[in-house]
Chains A and B, each alone.
Chain A
Amino acid sequence: MRIFSGHFIVLVVSLFGLSACGGGGGGASDNIPPMAPAPAPEISLLVVQSQAYEGNQNSAELTINRTGSAAALSISYVTAGHSEPSLGSASSGDYEMLYEDGSAIGSTINLSQNQNSLTIQVRPLVDNQREIPETLTLTLATGSGYSLSENISAEIIISEATNDVSNSRLFLGTFKAQDGISTSASGLLSFILQGDNDKGTLTYTYANLGTQRTDQHLHLSPSGTIIHDIKDEDLQSAGNVSDYQWDLAPGGIFTTKQQMLDALFDGEFYINVHSADFPGGEIYAPLIFDASAEPPEQLPLSTADVDFDIVRFLTQATFGATPEDYSELRSLIDIDGDNRQQVYELWIEQQFAMPATSMLDLDDHIYALFPSYNHAGLKPESFWSIASFAKDQLRQRMTFALSEIMVISSQDSKIRQRARGIGSYWDTLSNNAFGSYRQLIEDVTMHPMMGVYLSHLRNQKANEAEGTFPDENYAREVMQLFTFGLVHRNQDGSIILGQDNLPIATYDNETIQNLARVFTGLALSYRSDNDGTNVKENGSFNRTSCGPANSAHYCWTQPMKFFPSHHDFGEKKLFTDNGEQLVISASSGAELSEAVNELGVVLDGLIDHNTTAPFIARRLIQRFVTSNPSRDYIQRVAIAFGETGDMQSVIKAILLDQEARTPSVANSATFGKFKEPLLQLTAVMRLFQANSRLALGADDEDSDIIGTNYQYVNHFATGATIIKLGNIATAVGQQALGAPSVFNFFSPDYSPAGSLASQGLVAPELTLVTESQMYSMLNGYHQFLNNGVVNYRRQPFTKDQVRVSLDTSGLNAVWDNQTGDNTAKATAVVDYIDFYLNSGKLKQTDNQGTRQELITTIQSAACVSEPMCERNNLAIYGTATAPEFQIQQ
């Protein structure tokens, strides 16, 4: 009965609230001074401003005029609501009627002597309730001493807010299969409710229905009662629904619009789509109010601006923009881009809802397919298939970003030899990518691979007799790199200076020694027999293995546990925040639960620390959008981070921020970031559909595709194949979870000497661009384009089956479909690649040197020998290595 709460009562009152105030009658005659007979004055009522808004306190305004005599008068009136009971009527709690001087109008409207007109203000009262527009009808009544003109009635509408875009509210939904229905259909939905709550715009898109759509309805949950039929004849197209105006007209069990509004905000409506095979409905999406969504900024955007922005968004949020992803977003976004923020947010929400693709699962699939090789050698390969094809792109991009903050690295042989542990570590990051940073830091801290990498696995309390001390490694890096960094910062990331005008250190060595004691007593939770089988609980603190290389290595995939006898339960004086030092008091019991609680308190303190939010915010903005975010941008993301690190809010704040979304930055010589080589390669692979002959899915007898029947193939895009890049990863100079040290591939503060340094700008990724590394990257493209990449760990498959090559049929289509001469065709090809790989920046820039050079070269190149003809080879090599394409703006 939740929907009948609150407003229903208001509604009852207003339905019966046709109150007659004053009511005329003889009493009024007392106020009329005895005077000589004069012509009875005539009273009229005029509307000056009929709209009143609760939100901005704009009042409606009426004027009363009289003609004739000048004596004081009391005018009677009655109020009423809307003539249609299902629509909104204002009740006495919704407004007050005031004279110009602000005094309240009582049961009559009083005109003083000689006053021929007066203004009445109808001011809305703030009630913090969500209401539909409410009508107040004011009608003058007969009384003594005056007569009424024809104009005696006025209608005022009291609304919650104006229909400015900034007052719009966003409802989001993602389409899922209805209960008991097996379908691969999915989609996105948004409903933008205008400020006065009178109506809104419904947009949704879906794909992959098993059979043709038959009906679509708005239903009430959970009963399924149909509330509203979305009729085909009202739609602009037979497919997706865009800009469908829905006026919240009562339907189903509801008899008033206010009931509808309440149900809407309570999340009780859903849309479903029926198909021929599933007449009861195939997919459905709820309409969920999203208070965090910012209304879109009203910028005059050209269609091209919007197009470019869509690709920019995809470049920021995925491993590379593709025509498919672009088309999906484009179909949802208005020509002028007005609703792009909502659509991006919807897309983000859809990404949140997708099941996480497990790297460890895919690793295991690959280990099983290539049994002749060590896990350590095969381990890096799964990343490329995930980056190229996984549907949960944003989650995997965030995972990659997190893997560059909370680093473990296969460059360390202790890590490399525990390949299943690496896959598990990636999944730990990915499972927390849209959770809380607080949980993430706990899972990372407890992960045995981090325990190996930063050596707090089997770290034990000090032993004075033997002169040994706890290992300080993790204690240092968890502060310096994973949470708040070296110095105290304001919420906008600026450094706080002490009285000596120097930065204030967040910790000193004593803090590290104390914190190191928190991370004592952690060791493996599981053990196994020597061959890796027969997994059981581990009872020995000193155990260091669970089976040989290439075995299940179960213990490396499960969180560590405390061995209380090795944990230091003494008092620990830790870091300071807000002038308050975190002190863990000594525990007498030395119980497991106390060690666990202590860790929880310390991790709470690390994440809740004032500097952690801006510190992590800046790092994540750098990974997704720009190397040099403004302080305001950092602050906005830090606010979204909050006290526990709300990762969903954080990624929305990063990607939807005005700084990320303003198209004008494309003309800036400093905004954006240098694309790290790994992301450059994934973007090229996604655009040109890099593929092998080894499908994740089933055999395709029409082509030479070999199915590997991966059980989670539905987590990947259609046509996904196994992408083994082997040695090309060396050419790239980067491999996921393979940084040179815990300091990642590059420092967030690296600033190349020269114009960047002199302007105080950093360009972290440029660390990786050296003469030799640049050549090696160009050689990687050369290899990819000329022969494809064949990894030698290919048995039992043939070279041709594992070969990864690019598909240039799309480029050929662009060339063929372009009318005109070769220059026109070459221009189309260059602009096509520029659009997807570079958000169209090359076309927009003043300096057309690179674009012209590319066009000139490509227009005269031949295309005779597929799969990679000279023209396409030049087009891809030329764009991928051009300076303009290295920058993500």
Chain B
Amino acid sequence: MIHNCDDHILSRRAFLRKTSSFAVASSLATNSLGLMGLLNTSEALASADDYKALVFIFLNGGNDSFNMVVPRGAGQLRANYALNRGVVALSEGSLNGLNLQSAANIYGDIDSSDFGFHGNCSNMADMFNSQEMAVLCNIGNLTAPITRDQYLGNTGESIILPPRLFSHSDQQRQFQSEPTGTFNYGWGGRLAELLESYNNNPLVSPLISLAGRNPFQVTLEGEINSYTLGDTGIVPLNGFTGARSSMVTNYMTSIDTSSHLMAQKYADIFDSARTAQDIIESTFNTAESSGVNFDEIFASAGVSADSDIGNRLKTVAKMIKGRSEESNKRPIYFVEMNGFDTHANMLPNHSDQMTELNAAIKGFRDTLHEQGDFDKVLTYMGSEFGRTITPNGNDPTSSGTDHGWGGNAMAFGGMVDGGKFFGTYPDLLVNQGLDVDGRGRFIPTNSSSQCSAVIANWMGIAEGDVNQIFPSLNNFPSSFSQNSNINFIKAS
């Protein structure tokens, strides 16, 4: 949809005026359950079952996922792993074994279903083995299926690659949108627009970020903006009373279309913060008085108090638990964990990352079970790219790995067809097969958009409509076909 510029601005302002008047109503009633709260509760009761939340955990920096999901056993795949990982190979004995419900699909002529998760991911292995979690093998940004010969230009065909492969910023943006040069929207943002009828709370955005601004939640039409929570939830506004409060509130609303566009944006964000604050505060209050002891569950899962990813997932759990205070039925959370760009000290640093991630996942999983929401929340963990299978040094402690392409993602939740590997695990060989340049940068065997489409479908987009969000999928077999082997949602 193309907006005329002026219409666009006017409609945005009209939307804000609408939200401002709501803000007055809600703040009048903060101390009781509140008018808005009553309305929302009744709506929530009417359709209590129809709630689905997506939690996208983005592993920022390029997770070395070939050391997260690792081959074991006597077969060829483990031998390839040991050969090419060299000093950064993990020993078989350190791994947490996995019981696959069906054979893994391996690239080339290899049979193996003997895998383990990283030694520090024992709880994630438990989730996999109890069929709550699935592995999505070797996915990555792709505009169309491609072979090594095509990539190297040996076939003379004209192929289109995702622009600026191996670059963090570009591949992050593409993983969170589409593998195109121009950025129009994030797939989370577009999903929220298409699911707008499910999200009828005018004061709280269905797009909630625990990681600041991100491409994933950018909408196409710009009417819905993401709302950023602090790691531990709402940041209270201190000393905002009396003359100060009325002064600031008044001048924020005096900003109009003649003001500088960036000042307008600033005022919008202030509006968003103010109008959402009351409702989100009561959401937290509801969650914390629900009897679920979030702190204890996360602590006993091994989450330390200063774990960013742990705190962020705890905050998401509270938002989900307290959702009766707001009426959005398809919220989309964006959570980020940093520190995966392991060019140096890969083994020790990645090991620490795995420990922290495993604990946070365990805490989140246990909390969702405790509050009865495990079937309603789909959690997806991916990264902009995998890393080279080969290391960049010969010292096991200081060596690292460089930017790769395909990598292994994961999903968990009650709806996930767990205990299985989807997609195709690479043969881990270099200078042949999937490798593009001798370092073991593997051409993805499924596109990240194919995975994202499965999620979009679960959230409510019809199978035939997912290409509206992901136009590149016109170049691929359907995500829902048997051959794609990527539909990781249980048949309903």
**Does A249 count as interface, using CB distance less than 8 angstroms?**
no
Chain B residue at smallest Cβ distance from A512:
B166
Contact indicator per residue, chain A 439-476, by CB within 8 Å of chain B (1) or not (0): 00000000000000011001110010011111111001
**Does B395 count as interface, using CB distance less than 8 angstroms?**
yes
| A779, B235: Cβ atoms closer than 8 Å | yes
Nearest 7 Cβ contacts at the A-B interface: A849-B254, A770-B228, A771-B273, A753-B222, A754-B222, A883-B263, A455-B344
CB-CB < 8 A to A542: which residues of B? 395
CB-CB < 8 A to A768: which residues of B? 212
Residue in contact with A674 in the complex, picked from B61, B163, B262, B338, CB distance below 8 Å: B262
**From residue 51 to 71 of chain B, which have CB atoms closer than 8 A to chain A?**
60-61
| A754, B12: Cβ atoms closer than 8 Å | yes
The count of residues in chain A whose C-beta lies closer than 8 Å to any C-beta of chain B is 85
| A503, B265: Cβ atoms closer than 8 Å | no
| Additional A-B contact list (16), CB under 8 Å, known A770-B212, A774-B273 | A472-B343, A476-B166, A509-B437, A669-B259, A753-B222, A758-B3, A771-B227, A771-B229, A771-B272, A773-B228, A775-B237, A849-B256, A881-B248, A884-B263, A887-B260, A887-B263
Given contacts A454-B343, A471-B392, A883-B259, contact A774 B269 (CB under 8 A): yes
| A472, B403: Cβ atoms closer than 8 Å | yes
CB-CB < 8 A to A505: which residues of B? 164
Given contacts A674-B262, A847-B258, contact A757 B222 (CB under 8 A): yes
| B247, A849: Cβ atoms closer than 8 Å | no
- Rounded to whole angstroms, the CA-CA distance of A606 and B166 in the bound complex is 20
Q: How far does the Cβ of A520 sit from chain B's closest Cβ, in whole Å?
A: 10
**Does B331 count as interface, using CB distance less than 8 angstroms?**
no
**From residue 92 to 117 of chain B, which have CB atoms closer than 8 A to chain A?**
none
| B247, A853: Cβ atoms closer than 8 Å | yes
- Rounded to whole angstroms, the CA-CA distance of A484 and B259 in the bound complex is 35
Residue in contact with A754 in the complex, picked from B8, B266, B341, B394, CB distance below 8 Å: B8
Chain B residue at smallest Cβ distance from A783:
B238
5 A–B contacts from the bound complex (CB under 8 Å):
A502-B181, A509-B165, A512-B166, A542-B395, A846-B258
| A775, B236: Cβ atoms closer than 8 Å | yes
- Rounded to whole angstroms, the CA-CA distance of A505 and B166 in the bound complex is 13
CB-CB < 8 A to B490: which residues of A? none
Q: How far does the Cβ of B224 sit from chain A's closest Cβ, in whole Å?
A: 9
**From residue 259 to 293 of chain B, which have CB atoms closer than 8 A to chain A?**
259-270, 272-273, 276
| A669, B261: Cβ atoms closer than 8 Å | yes
Residue in contact with B244 in the complex, picked from A754, A878, A887, CB distance below 8 Å: A878
**Does A177 count as interface, using CB distance less than 8 angstroms?**
no
- Rounded to whole angstroms, the CA-CA distance of A783 and B240 in the bound complex is 12
Given contacts A473-B343, A476-B166, contact A756 B262 (CB under 8 A): yes
**Does B406 count as interface, using CB distance less than 8 angstroms?**
no
Stretch from B79-87, B357-365, B374-382, B476-484 at the A interface: B79-87
**From residue 646 to 674 of chain A, which have CB atoms closer than 8 A to chain B?**
668-670, 672-674
**Does A49 count as interface, using CB distance less than 8 angstroms?**
no
- Rounded to whole angstroms, the CA-CA distance of A773 and B234 in the bound complex is 10
Stretch from B167-175, B195-203, B467-475 at the A interface: B167-175
CB-CB < 8 A to B209: which residues of A? 770
**Does A854 count as interface, using CB distance less than 8 angstroms?**
yes
| B251, A882: Cβ atoms closer than 8 Å | yes
| A471, B394: Cβ atoms closer than 8 Å | no
| B388, A469: Cβ atoms closer than 8 Å | yes
Given contacts A469-B390, A509-B166, contact A775 B264 (CB under 8 A): no
- Rounded to whole angstroms, the CA-CA distance of A849 and B266 in the bound complex is 16
| A467, B262: Cβ atoms closer than 8 Å | no
**Does A786 count as interface, using CB distance less than 8 angstroms?**
yes
Given contacts A755-B264, A759-B5, A850-B251, contact A776 B235 (CB under 8 A): yes
- Rounded to whole angstroms, the CA-CA distance of A752 and B268 in the bound complex is 12
**Does A246 count as interface, using CB distance less than 8 angstroms?**
no
| A766, B262: Cβ atoms closer than 8 Å | yes
CB-CB < 8 A to B388: which residues of A? 469
| A740, B255: Cβ atoms closer than 8 Å | no
| B265, A763: Cβ atoms closer than 8 Å | yes
CB-CB < 8 A to A469: which residues of B? 388, 390-392, 402, 439
Q: How far does the Cβ of B454 sit from chain A's closest Cβ, in whole Å?
A: 26
CB-CB < 8 A to B441: which residues of A? 509
Residue in contact with B228 in the complex, picked from A674, A754, A771, CB distance below 8 Å: A771
CB-CB < 8 A to B219: which residues of A? 753
CB-CB < 8 A to A857: which residues of B? 243, 246-247
| B262, A887: Cβ atoms closer than 8 Å | yes
**Does A678 count as interface, using CB distance less than 8 angstroms?**
no
**Does B399 count as interface, using CB distance less than 8 angstroms?**
yes
The count of residues in chain B whose C-beta lies closer than 8 Å to any C-beta of chain A is 86
- Rounded to whole angstroms, the CA-CA distance of A338 and B262 in the bound complex is 32
CB-CB < 8 A to A758: which residues of B? 3, 5, 8, 222
- Rounded to whole angstroms, the CA-CA distance of A752 and B213 in the bound complex is 9
**Does A480 count as interface, using CB distance less than 8 angstroms?**
yes
CB-CB < 8 A to A873: which residues of B? 244
**Does A823 count as interface, using CB distance less than 8 angstroms?**
no
| B247, A874: Cβ atoms closer than 8 Å | yes
Residue in contact with A670 in the complex, picked from B225, B246, B258, B260, CB distance below 8 Å: B260
Give the most central of A502, A755, A769: most B CB within 10 Å: A755
Given contacts A480-B167, A509-B436, A771-B276, contact A883 B264 (CB under 8 A): yes
Q: How far does the Cβ of A91 sit from chain B's closest Cβ, in whole Å?
A: 61
**Does A782 count as interface, using CB distance less than 8 angstroms?**
yes
Residue in contact with A861 in the complex, picked from B243, B251, B393, B402, CB distance below 8 Å: B243
CB-CB < 8 A to A471: which residues of B? 343-344, 392-393, 400, 402
Contact indicator per residue, chain A 472-510, by CB within 8 Å of chain B (1) or not (0): 110010001000001000000000000000110100011
- Rounded to whole angstroms, the CA-CA distance of A746 and B425 in the bound complex is 35
**Does B297 count as interface, using CB distance less than 8 angstroms?**
no
CB-CB < 8 A to A470: which residues of B? 392
Q: How far does the Cβ of B172 sit from chain A's closest Cβ, in whole Å?
A: 9
- Rounded to whole angstroms, the CA-CA distance of A416 and B489 in the bound complex is 44
| A467, B390: Cβ atoms closer than 8 Å | yes
Give the most central of B237, B255, B276, B392: most A CB within 10 Å: B392
| A782, B239: Cβ atoms closer than 8 Å | yes
Contact indicator per residue, chain B 315-327, by CB within 8 Å of chain A (1) or not (0): 0000000000000
- Rounded to whole angstroms, the CA-CA distance of A741 and B248 in the bound complex is 34
**Does A558 count as interface, using CB distance less than 8 angstroms?**
no
Q: How far does the Cβ of A733 sit from chain B's closest Cβ, in whole Å?
A: 9
| B256, A847: Cβ atoms closer than 8 Å | yes
- Rounded to whole angstroms, the CA-CA distance of A747 and B168 in the bound complex is 12
**Does A513 count as interface, using CB distance less than 8 angstroms?**
yes
**Does B250 count as interface, using CB distance less than 8 angstroms?**
yes
| B164, A874: Cβ atoms closer than 8 Å | no
**From residue 792 to 829 of chain A, which have CB atoms closer than 8 A to chain B?**
none
Q: How far does the Cβ of A886 sit from chain B's closest Cβ, in whole Å?
A: 5
CB-CB < 8 A to B254: which residues of A? 847, 849-850, 853
Q: How far does the Cβ of B453 sit from chain A's closest Cβ, in whole Å?
A: 22
Chain B residue at smallest Cβ distance from A753:
B222
- Rounded to whole angstroms, the CA-CA distance of A623 and B398 in the bound complex is 36
**Does A767 count as interface, using CB distance less than 8 angstroms?**
yes
CB-CB < 8 A to A776: which residues of B? 230, 235
**Does B9 count as interface, using CB distance less than 8 angstroms?**
yes
Give the most central of A473, A758, A775: most B CB within 10 Å: A775
| B218, A753: Cβ atoms closer than 8 Å | yes
| B403, A763: Cβ atoms closer than 8 Å | no
- Rounded to whole angstroms, the CA-CA distance of A757 and B262 in the bound complex is 11
**Does B144 count as interface, using CB distance less than 8 angstroms?**
no
| B394, A463: Cβ atoms closer than 8 Å | yes
Give the most central of B3, B248, B262, B344: most A CB within 10 Å: B262
| A669, B260: Cβ atoms closer than 8 Å | yes
**Does A578 count as interface, using CB distance less than 8 angstroms?**
no
Chain A residue at smallest Cβ distance from B86:
A467
| A755, B238: Cβ atoms closer than 8 Å | no
**Does A761 count as interface, using CB distance less than 8 angstroms?**
yes
CB-CB < 8 A to A5: which residues of B? none
Residue in contact with B240 in the complex, picked from A476, A778, A846, CB distance below 8 Å: A778
CB-CB < 8 A to A883: which residues of B? 251-252, 255, 259-260, 263-264, 266-267, 270
